[in-house]
Amino acid sequence: MLRFLTAGESHGRMLVVIVEGVPAGLTLDTGAITRELRRRQGGYGRGRRMAIESDTAVVVAGVRHGCTTGAPIAMTIENRDWVNWQFTMHPDPEPPQDATGAHRAPVTRPRPGHADLAGALKYGHQDLRDVLERASARETAARVAAGAVARQVLEQVGVRIVSHVTAIGPVAIDAVPVTFDRIAGLPDDSPTRCVDAYVSRGMIAAIDAAREAGDTLGGSFEVVAHGVPAGLGSYAQWDRRLDGRLAQALMSIPAIKAVGLGIGPDAARLPGSSVHDEIVRAPKAGGAPAGILLSRPTNRAGGLEGGVTNGEDVRATAFMKPIATLMKPLRSVDLATLAEEPAALERSDICAVPAASVVGEAMVALVLADALVERFGGDAVADLRQRHAEWIQRARDRFTPPPGAPTT
């Protein structure tokens, strides 16, 4: 099993992530991890925090001379803003005399839409900072670092993952599905991560209008995984179905309220003839053995049938609600006095959908890498590649017609 755990608070000293189950012998590209962290920090509508942080993951365990050992991989990501929060966030009962940062008052006015009140009710906290520091989306930086490792496992068998923003507020692209190559062509510094330049300008205008109104915006993004082998996941038990695992992973990202696979909710309003992907025989391009392999003219299922990958691109769309912190705060109740008061203000974004799409890529990578290791074994990278190659050859042999068989 390939899994991960994170620790750390938004304004604590650092974030920590442990990734377990990565095969031995993987040459780990730490520069690629940094690149993914920087992608997460971008996007139009982000707040001032992104100007402070310059995220870099430091590998502290599980890698020796650039290669994974099979042991758990541990990484840290320092919070540069810690210098401004040492007194408020120090773990010691009495912060030391040299602790820097302001002496911040307790947070007692929960924000509608955030975990503030629910967390206080669950854990009995009086100061809501004990909730919001961990519930903050800052934690997703650790997920992106873990996902960057998972990507490198997937790359061993040719799997690539990309994402693009399909809507911000009321502004959405019309032409779907978008091809993998078109999404892959998006530059890392794309302000909205939208493939349509005209729609992107509309998204920027919508974010500007929300900022002017003291409001926030949500939206949606699609993650596409290309080159995924057929047969990952299982229909044998509910918790092994890969579609459920992907949905749970994406829903766990802060502010994600819905997930669709393939055409998603549209499958509920269309007849079966317009939903299911026909199976045809078609020549396999790219130097495959002569003969006929199976193909799909469409991919409305999003690469999954019965909880198992079918060889088509895996496509998952996540729908994100607006950020809960508003510059014109909604009504709330001060838990210390029970008086009606405006909700608390925390430094926040206007829109984080482009950044969330990068987090979505990381979560999909982690789920698919887990399923890959589960399917082909994961003690060593060489074994993983060999078993995958053997499976590909068996599949080709099975679906190659005998000599003289008709090709159409």
pLDDT value for 288: 42
Low-confidence winner among 284-288, 314-318, 404-408 (lowest mean pLDDT):
284-288
Tokens, residue 273: 């003839």
pLDDT value for 291: 46
Does residue 286 carry a pLDDT above 60? Answer: no
Residue that the structure tokens 């290791």 belong to: 373
pLDDT value for 287: 43
User: 283: part of which helix (H) or strand (E)?
Assistant: strand 280-283
pLDDT value for 54: 83
3-state secondary structure 73-142: EEEEEECHHHHHCHHHHCCCCCCCCCCCCCCCCCCCCCCCCCCHHHHHHHHCCCCCHHHHHHHCHHHHHH
CB atoms within 10 A of CB 227: 15
pTM reported for the whole predicted model? 0.94
Q: What is the dihedral of CA 197, 202, 204, 206, to 10 degrees?
A: -160
CB atoms within 10 A of CB 388: 18
**Mean pLDDT score, 329-353:** 93
Q: Is the peptide bond before 177 cis (omega within 30 degrees of 0)?
A: yes
Nearest CA among 344, 369, 355 for reference residue 151? 369
pLDDT tens-digit series, residues 231-281: 999 999 999 999 999 999 999 999 999 999 999 999 999 999 999 999 988
Does residue 342 carry a pLDDT above 90? Answer: yes
pLDDT value for 405: 64
**Mean pLDDT score, 308-315:** 95
pLDDT value for 46: 82
> DSSP H helical segments within 252-303, as ranges?
none
Does residue 50 carry a pLDDT above 80? Answer: no
Low-confidence winner among 7-16, 100-109, 287-296, 316-325 (lowest mean pLDDT):
287-296
Under CATH, to which class is 3-398 assigned? Answer: alpha beta
pLDDT tens-digit series, residues 174-192: 977 999 999 999 999 999 9
**Mean pLDDT score, 188-207:** 96
Residue 284: band (very low, low, confident or very high) from pLDDT cuts 50, 70, 90: low
pLDDT value for 396: 80
Q: Are 72 and 78 contacting, i.e. CB atoms less than 8 angstroms apart?
A: no
